[in-house]
Amino acid sequence: MKNILQRIAYLQGLADGLGVDDTSKEGQILLELVDVVAELAETVDDRLDDLEDYVDVVEEDLGELEDFIYEEDDFDDYDDLDFDDYELYGDFDEEDDDFDFDEEEIEEE
């Protein structure tokens, strides 16, 4: 957005430096167009700043909400699941023949 504002300022300076005649119809139109574009750019820049502020507030609120909701479920407290403990999880009865492995593909990797 800064680049656009700089380019508009350049256009305004160029119009002043070239001595655009504000008494001619063409000069009046050109100067008015430059002023309108400058005003639009300032409005967009202001709204962009407001939007960025709003997003920051929403992000903070979301962080607080996540802390509140997930406070009881701190997943770091849980141990990793260990499948070597057959008493808890049972035994897996699958054999290698139950799976369709393509030996050539495995060896190529």
Q: Is the pLDDT of residue 4 over 80?
A: yes
Cα atoms in the Cβ-side hemisphere of radius 13 Å centred on 38: 15
pTM, rounded to two decimals? 0.54
Q: Assess whether pLDDT exceeds 70 at residue 39.
A: yes
Distance of CA 83 to the CA centre of its chain: 40
Q: Which two tokens stand for residue 49?
A: 């700043």
Mean pLDDT, the chain, as a whole number?
Answer: 80
User: How far is it, in rounded angstroms, from Cα 70 to Cα 17?
Assistant: 62
